[in-house]
Amino acid sequence: MAIESIPIVDFSNFKTNPEKVAQEVVDACKSIGFFYMINHDIPQSDIEKAFALSKEYFDLPTEEKHWILKYNDKEIIKNNKPFAPLPSVFDKEKEFLCYFSKKCHATALQILIAFGIALEIPEENGGKEFFSKSHSYDKSASVLRFLKYPRGGEAAYKDHVRAGAHSDYGSITLLFQKDVPGLEVQASRTEWISAPLIPGAILVNVGDAMELWTNGLFKSTIHRVTFLPEHNHLDRYSMPFFFHPDDNVPLTPVPSRFVNQTLSSTGDHAYTSGEYLRRKLDATYNYAAKKNSN
């Protein structure tokens, strides 16, 4: 049966009826790989404030936004600390940004607990905390990004596909969208369906690491961003929170009676989360570097 829309999962009942909510989450992850999370614990005022900071940053003159080019590779990986001084827009709100990214982390952990419940992971393997205990706040590659898609009316940005078709690399992604829709999902693996804006909802999707970890049970679905002609005069802002397992976590089949425990013929080597991420980033950036040098 063709999948025509993205399910909505109401988390207001997660405390009182976790099994029901968890089942809805897992049904969505097994079919389309996307769902809207409503009644989550992130106040709308915090989401609005984060979007306002993002806009304030993108509104800066171009030279100021190129601050990052001043820093070389050595400094980028120094002592596991912020790789460069933050631009003042963010520096003055460091406390808020830390608080907001911790809220994203806690919200993503709730979803992972739902996975653990519905997949009935045995207690001796970690039970409902099987996934959440492998996603520490400060040791994984998880990242909150601020994105701006400049309005399509400007000469340089005529293409209606604004972010090409791709899957995400981590375990799950939380996406905050604002004002301008545009995300499309390849639900049935051939047709694109749109992911409309639902005020206050977070759009959640499964990433490649989770598809590998569940041995294909959960679907990491291709998606892209397009602009409709009626939105050509508007900039689009979004904030994805890419959630990754800790680097050393082996992406071997999750101990669940719902997950096939046999690796496929191509999977005789199971990656750790860190290896998988590096492999994908190398492929992306080597490709980009080659393309740019041509």
Ligand X SMILES: O=C(O)CCC(=O)C(=O)O
Residues of this chain that bind ligand X (CB under 6 A): 147, 163, 168, 175, 177, 183, 223, 225, 238, 240
Pairs from 113-116 (Cβ < 8 Å, separation ≥ 24): 113/18, 113/22, 114/14, 114/18, 114/21, 114/22, 114/25, 114/26, 115/22, 115/25, 115/26, 115/29
Is the Cβ of residue 22 or residue 195 nearer to ligand X in the bound state?
Answer: 195
* Minimum CB–partner distance for residue 67 and ligand X (Å): 22
Which residue's Cβ lies closest to ligand X?
238
* Minimum CB–partner distance for residue 147 and ligand X (Å): 5
* Minimum CB–partner distance for residue 154 and ligand X (Å): 18
Torsion sign (Cα): 282, 283, 284, 290: positive
Is the Cβ of residue 116 or residue 182 nearer to ligand X in the bound state?
Answer: 182
Is the Cβ of residue 22 or residue 187 nearer to ligand X in the bound state?
Answer: 187
* Minimum CB–partner distance for residue 225 and ligand X (Å): 5
Rounded to whole angstroms, the Cα distance separating 39 from 195 reads 18
Question: 109: helix, coil or strand?
Answer: helix
* Minimum CB–partner distance for residue 180 and ligand X (Å): 9
Is the Cβ of residue 103 or residue 236 nearer to ligand X in the bound state?
Answer: 236
Is the Cβ of residue 121 or residue 211 nearer to ligand X in the bound state?
Answer: 211
* Minimum CB–partner distance for residue 177 and ligand X (Å): 6
Q: What is the 3-state secondary structure (H, E, C) of 113-163?
A: HHHHHHCCCCHHHCHHHCCHHHCCCCCECCEECCEEECCCCCHHHCCCEEE
Rounded to whole angstroms, the Cα distance separating 258 from 118 reads 9
Is the Cβ of residue 121 or residue 206 nearer to ligand X in the bound state?
Answer: 206
**Residue 34: how many other CB atoms lie within 10 Å:** 25
